[in-house]
Amino acid sequence: MTSKSTRTIRRARVEDSVLLGELTERSSTHWGCPPGFFDWAPGASDVPPEYIAGNPVYVLEEDGRIVGYYGFTKEGGDLLLDKLFVDRHRIGTGYGKRLWLHAVDTARDLGYREMIIGSDPNAAPFYKAMGAEWYAEKPTPSPEWTVQMFRFAIPSIAFRRALPEDAPQLHALTGQSTLYWGHEPEFLDWEPQSIAVTPELIAGSVTYLLEEGDRIPGYYTLVGEPPGMSLDKLFVEPDLIGTGRGKRLWLHAVATAQEMGATVLTFAADPNAAPFYRAMGAEWVREEETARPGWNLQWFRYSLTGDPS
């Protein structure tokens, strides 16, 4: 099993200004732009403190180092994604998609149903792949460079009760999410029933999935009867881990269990997920050895009444 780097997205700080400007220059050289290429447009590569202080700007950190960022400005009544850059050595490795997904969430949280994007011509295929619609090309003072304009409709987020026919998709999601933590594919064969999502499981449990447009980013399953219930499963698509979907699912699961009359949730977690459940306020109870060396179940409980006893 390989270790995972720690990646987090946070709000940019004004003191990040110089680092973000340097990252922008490095990212641009990936596409063959020489240093100083954007001198004809001073704001194109600069990220001044005023820009950070006055706009929604977020950075992606890997093990404490900034490896990408994005920024919004307002253009008339529109929200414009005018910057999204990834360090040159990480272009094409999923970091841009991670920033994009976070940017979509930010736009949604700001109350927008659509955003527009001003793109470097080299990045146009990326935005098309993300589902954005091209609508215009804007000239610039440089005859070698134009701005490609895109629109993107922000997909709504909704929970719905899972149906038995959702089982194959949820089962596949579970396996993909499990392998995110560096497990070998053989890990899925170790105790297949523990991760299996079958029509029978869905029919006999309380399973809700999260929908974003036509995508299912995650789901959870509650089993048992009040007052004590168990969170049997909570999984998020690998490229959305760390983007807040897990927290959305957790909060919905807690509310569902409370509405059903449960007073406590107990559950066993993958060791990799233990920090998440601690952050959600769950109390660690014990560790249970398994037949797989180095991989022990972490047991938690979460009071639904505010009483820790």
Q: Which of 219, 129, 221 is nearest to 177 (CA)?
A: 219
Least confident of 50-59, 254-263, 290-299: 290-299
Q: pLDDT tens digits for 102-140?
A: 999 999 989 999 999 999 898 999 999 999 999 999 998
Sheet containing 147-153: which strands, arranged edge to edge? 7-11, 57-62, 65-75, 78-86, 114-119, 147-153, 133-138
**Type of residue at 288:** E
Q: pLDDT tens digits for 63-83?
A: 889 999 999 999 888 999 999
- Cβ neighbours of residue 53 under 8 Å, at least 6 residues apart? 14
Q: pLDDT tens digits for 224-278?
A: 999 999 999 999 998 888 888 999 999 999 999 999 999 999 999 888 889 999 9
Q: pLDDT tens digits for 21-34?
A: 999 988 888 877 76
Q: Judge whether residue 56 has pLDDT over 80.
A: yes
CA–CA dist 17, 96 (Å, integer): 19
**Which residue shows structure tokens 């973000």?**
20
**Is 167 strand, coil or helix?**
helix
Q: pLDDT tens digits for 193-208?
A: 777 899 999 999 999 9
Q: Which residue ranges form the domains of the chain, and what is each CATH number?
A: 7-153 (3.40.630.30), 157-303 (3.40.630.30)
Q: Judge whether residue 160 has pLDDT over 70.
A: yes
